[in-house]
Chain A
Amino acid sequence: MISLRYAATRVGSMALVLLIVAFCTFVVFYLVPSDPALMACGKPCTPENLALAREFMGFDEPWWQQFLTFLGGIFTGRTFGSGATAIHCAAPCFGYSFRQNADVLDLIGDRLPVTVSLAVGAAVLWVVLGVGAGVLAALRKDSWFDRVALGASVIGVSAPVYLVGLLGILVLGFKLDVVPVGNYTPFGEDPVRWAWGLVLPWCVLAFAHGAHYVKLTRTQMIDTMGEDFIRTARAKGVAERTVVGKHALRNVLLPVVTLTGLDLGSLLGGAVITERVFSLPGLGGLLIEAVHGRDLPTLLGCTLFAGFLVVVANAVVDLSYGVLDPRARLT
């Protein structure tokens, strides 16, 4: 279905995009006057100590040399310093946080499960509810359900996710006390408590994102139901359930898949706001901590990782087109 040549160009262009993201981020972060060595050097900071710290971290080289070393580290690993105090960062090395004394990739790996739990759970919820509500609203156009769905989607599109989240915490968490607020339990420890603790964040994210899906699905569905092939299917005597479920929904799915892929890609990298509202210890938290600690290697790692997720999401969306729509088979 997918030719080898297409796959090769696709992977190549993904790598190129990531290289550009890495380059831009690197140049901006390292040309802006902010010296991580100065912070690691301790007080009082003698010029000798500062020079030592710089050399240890590899900041004594010109910036392009540093960038090449960084890229090399991804494939071969890096060693900072030498002798007994040396720190080794095994390949693939996406940098080492001197602030937290940890491999950046390990830091990301530690936090990733939280963000994945949040994003994937919410995505399932918003796709199911958003598409379901959109289809129903389209089939019963101008009914009370249609109006309520549209009204809710207007609010969902315009209300910032942190506002909805805080109101949710206030009403459901504190006033009515039906859902827990602000504790995350790893899935491996207790799956029930894991899900229960994430119910509110999932609902809030699903409300904010689902609104777009209701609007999109409704418009697409109304369009599709007016097409000739739907009339033909009905004329043939196909049951209405099959007309909607098999013929119409398939056409509606393409844009929904696109939107889901893009949303999920950016959400995995940037659920920063939701995580802050619900105090979840995910990637967003890592990023904010790195910002406040001026932890450049972690910032660079997070940005690159977020870019990686967006690029992968784009590729998955493109590939799924071929599966869903035979006309779009890739060659």
Chain B
Amino acid sequence: MPAAIRSVLARDRWALAGTVTVVVIGLVAIFADVLTAIEGHDPYTYDASALDPASGLPAGPFGGVSGEHWFGVEPLTGRDLFAIVVHGARTSFLIGLAATLVSIGLGVLIGAAAGYLGGWIDRVIVWSADVFLGFPYLVFMIALGAVVPVEFPRALLLIVVIGFFGWPATARIVRAQVLTLKERNFVKAARTLGASPWEVFRAELLPNLWGPVLVMATLSVPGKVGLEAALSFLGVGVLPPTPSWGRSISAAIEWVAVDPAFLLFPGLALFGVTWGFNALGDGLRDALDPKWGRKR
């Protein structure tokens, strides 16, 4: 599989650019503490000295960008925007990747069970997937944000809920793949030799599912990152003071006319991650699925 990725990156410039973007922002997320230590600010400390006392706006042009505050500061609080964006990357990646892991894991297990076992299990799973796809999940998640107690860790809630609602799409594709794999001779042979369904899944099916699963996972990360940002944007995601791009963008609504820089930095970061994963995923799909590659 790494060989396949390498060949995609060698041939597809956009996929390469997307990967570089994702890796850079990923490294920023990992080394958030180091970066903010170099700059000398944290995302939580209020700093009135960086503000214009009359208006509450950042002192200095373009949102107060300076050698001291690399991305300027937040209006009203004076918190360092660079530190907020950098630590926001951590929130975004953590929730986006963990939720993808949950949804892809569930989707592969459930989809493979439906395709391989067949019968009533298949029917129940296909039907539940239909119900799930008809579920107004965004509205439900927003409402859930209101009723779950504040003591419950928000990041965990978001990972579980976003991940849980993502399984049907994966399960459908995996089920279709497994239905064709099931008829191949190596799977039949394993079954005849007395392999249990779990052994067949692990040794025969899973190695042949990596391609589509990898493409699905890559393409579903941006949606999950975007969902976290959207929920935080609406005030039902990550709670303050944990930095989140979505919440910063939401706060920027009030200031967009006078301090556009406050919108620009978190917005660009969010766009970068979404675009990067999309470009990489499209490239992988073109390479791994010959039917798609032809059309480009």
User: In the complex, what residues of A have CB within 8 A of residue B134's CB?
Assistant: 17, 21, 307, 310-311, 314
Contact A158 B147 (CB under 8 A): no
- In the complex, chain A residues whose CB is within 8 Å of the CB of B148: 32
- Tell whether, in the assembled complex, residue B136 and residue A21 are in contact, meaning their CB atoms are under 8 Å apart: yes
A-contact 0/1 string along B268-296, CB 8 Å cutoff: 00110011001100000000000000010
Specify which of A174, A290, A306, A307 is in contact with B256 (CB 8 Å cutoff): A174
Q: How distant is the Cα of A166 from the Cα of B253 in the complex, in angstroms?
A: 7
Q: How far is the CA of A20 from the CA of B136 in the complex (A)?
A: 12
Q: How large is the interface on A (under 10, 10 to 19, 20 to 34, 35 or more residues)?
A: 35 or more
Mask of A162-186 contacts with B, CB within 8 angstroms, 1/0? 1100110110001000000000000
Using A17-B130, A166-B253 as known contacts, say yes or no to A154 and B275 having CB atoms under 8 A apart: yes
Residues of B within 8 A of A277 (CB): 253
Q: Is the CB of A166 within 8 A of B249?
A: yes
Q: Are B131 and A29 in contact (CB under 8 A)?
A: no
A273 x B230 contact (CB < 8 A): yes
Q: Chain A's nearest CB lies how many Å from the CB of B88?
A: 14
Give residues 56-84 of A contacting B (CB, 8 Å). none
Decide if B229 is an interface residue (CB 8 Å cutoff): yes
Nearest CB of chain B from residue A198's CB, rounded to whole Å: 18
Is B135 located at the chain interface by the 8 A CB criterion? yes
B132 CB, min distance to chain A CBs, angstroms: 10
Q: Please, which residues of chain B bring their CB within 8 A of the CB of A223?
A: 295
Cβ-neighbour of A28 out of B144, B250, B256 (below 8 A): B144
Contact B136 A291 (CB under 8 A): no
A291 engages B146 (CB within 8 Å): yes
Confirm or deny: A47 has a beta carbon within 8 angstroms of a beta carbon on chain B.
Answer: no
Contact A29 B135 (CB under 8 A): no
**Given A158-B278, A288-B234, residue A307 in contact with residue B135 (CB < 8 A):** yes
Report the stretch among A123-131, A253-261, A294-302 that lies at the interface.
A294-302
Partner of B136, one of A33, A288, A303: A303
Contact B253 A272 (CB under 8 A): no
| Complex: A273 Cα to B253 Cα, angstroms | 12
**Contact mask A14-25 → B, CB, 8 Å, 1/0?**
000100110011
Residue A270 interfacial (CB < 8 Å): yes
Q: Please name the residue on chain A nearest to B258 by beta carbon.
A: A174
- Binary interface profile of A, 22-62, with partner B (CB < 8 Å = 1, else 0)? 00110011001110000000000000000000000000000
Q: A21 to B234, alpha carbons, bound, how many Å?
A: 23
A169 to B260, CA, bound (A): 11
Residues of B within 8 A of A162 (CB): 230, 233, 249-250
Shortest beta-carbon distance from A115 to chain B in Å: 12
Identify the interface centre among B134, B144, B235, B263: most chain A CB within 10 Å of its CB. B134
Q: B-facing mask of A297-331, CB < 8 A → 1, else 0?
A: 00110110011011100100000000000000000
Residues of B within 8 A of A32 (CB): 147-149
In this assembly, does A109 line the interface, its C-beta being within 8 Å of a C-beta of chain B? Answer: no
Q: Which residue from A34, A174, A222, A270 sits with its C-beta under 8 Å from B139?
A: A270
Other-chain contact of B295, A155, A159, A222 (Cβ < 8 Å): A222
Please tell me which one of the listed residues A29, A159, A219, A266 contacts residue B143 in the complex, with CB atoms under 8 A apart: A29
Residues on the A chain within 8 Å of B267, using CB: 163, 166-167
Q: Is residue B138 within 8 Å, beta carbon to beta carbon, of the partner chain?
A: yes
Are the CB atoms of A287 and B143 closer together than 8 Å?
yes
Could you tell me the distance between the alpha carbons of A299 and B226 in the complex, rounded to whole angstroms? 23
Q: How far is the CB of B129 from chain A (nearest CB, A)?
A: 12
Report whether A158 and B135 are in contact in the complex, using a CB–CB cutoff of 8 Å.
no
Contact, CB under 8 Å: A34 / B143: no
Q: Does A276 have its Cβ within 8 Å of any Cβ on chain B? A: yes
From A170, A290, A292, name the one whose CB has the most chain B CB atoms within 10 angstroms: A170
Residues of A within 8 A of B278 (CB): 154, 157-158
- Chain A min CB distance to B258 (Å): 9
Q: Give which listed residue, B131, B136, B222, contacts A266 with CB less than 8 A.
A: B136
Nearest CB to that of B263 among chain A residues?
Answer: A166
B131, B146, B257: the one contacting A17 at CB < 8 Å is B131
Q: How far is the CB of B160 from chain A (nearest CB, A)?
A: 12
CB-contact partner of B146 in A157, A167, A290, A311, under 8 A: A290
B94 on the A face (CB < 8 A): no
With A and B bound together, what is the CA distance between A67 and B250 in angstroms?
36
Contacts of B140 in A (CB 8 A): 25, 303
Inside 8 A of B271's CB, which chain A residues have their CB?
A: 158-160, 163
Could you show 29 A-B contacts with beta carbons less than 8 Å apart?
A17-B131, A17-B134, A29-B143, A32-B148, A34-B146, A34-B147, A154-B275, A154-B279, A155-B275, A158-B222, A160-B226, A162-B230, A162-B233, A162-B249, A163-B267, A163-B270, A166-B249, A166-B256, A167-B267, A169-B256, A219-B295, A222-B295, A276-B234, A294-B147, A299-B146, A303-B139, A303-B143, A306-B136, A307-B134
Which 4 A/B pairs are nearest by Cβ-Cβ distance?
A306-B136, A291-B146, A158-B275, A299-B143
A: which residues have CB within 8 A of B? Answer: 17, 20-21, 24-25, 28-29, 32-34, 154-155, 157-160, 162-163, 166-167, 169-170, 174, 219, 222-223, 266, 269-270, 272-273, 276-277, 287-288, 290-292, 294, 296, 299-300, 302-303, 306-307, 309-311, 314
**With A157-B278, A302-B143 given, can you name 18 additional A-B contacts, CB distance below 8 Å?**
A29-B143, A32-B147, A158-B271, A159-B271, A160-B249, A160-B271, A166-B249, A166-B253, A166-B263, A219-B295, A269-B139, A270-B136, A273-B230, A290-B146, A291-B142, A291-B143, A302-B139, A303-B136
